[in-house]
Amino acid sequence: MQSLNIQRPGMPDLQFVLVVSALCTSGLETLNVPEELRRRVFDACWALVNTDPPPVNQAERVLDLRFGTELTLDAVVATIRQLFAEAGITTLTWDHAPSDPSRLSSPAAEPLIDRLHKLYPDPPAPPPPGRSDHN
């Protein structure tokens, strides 16, 4: 079982918003959030970064935060926390193993992905078994 504390997620705000929006649009049956609240959270976040109505097609329900500001991100985080607090949900829980990406990132997303890799580089690989640095 995986979980995410809404008030203290232990991750940067951008990552928090992306995780919560992905969970809300995932269709996971094991997420402890009713479908109506999932829709309200996504739609409220969408309204903060878009002028058009939220998409109805599930595959199109993805937040694009590339053109937002720090203020926009702060507003999205506050909105997520407020909606879950009003519903009495302090921790999101779900039971689903991490999966491989279903498609490659678009070229437009590459700058964001590169920035995230600089902020959170992959840990170094451990040395092969049986090898020591004293050889």
Q: What is the pLDDT along the chain (135 residues), one digit of tens a residue?
A: 899 999 999 999 999 999 999 999 998 999 999 999 999 999 999 999 999 999 999 889 999 988 889 999 999 999 999 999 999 999 999 987 766 666 666 777 777 777 776 776 666 666 767 655 555
Comparing C-alpha atoms, which of 31, 14, 21 is closest to residue 74?
Answer: 14
Handedness of CA 45, 34, 11, 62 (dihedral sign): negative
pLDDT at 115: 73
pLDDT of residue 131: 58
Quick one: pLDDT at residue 89? 96
- What pLDDT shows up at residue 77? 97
Domain boundaries, the chain: 2-119
Question: What secondary structure letter does DSSP report for 104?
Answer: P
Residue 13's pLDDT is 94
Q: Half-sphere exposure (CA, 13 Å, Cβ side) for 86?
A: 9
**pLDDT, position 132:** 55
pLDDT at 67: 86
N-term to C-term CA, the chain: 43
pLDDT at 59: 87
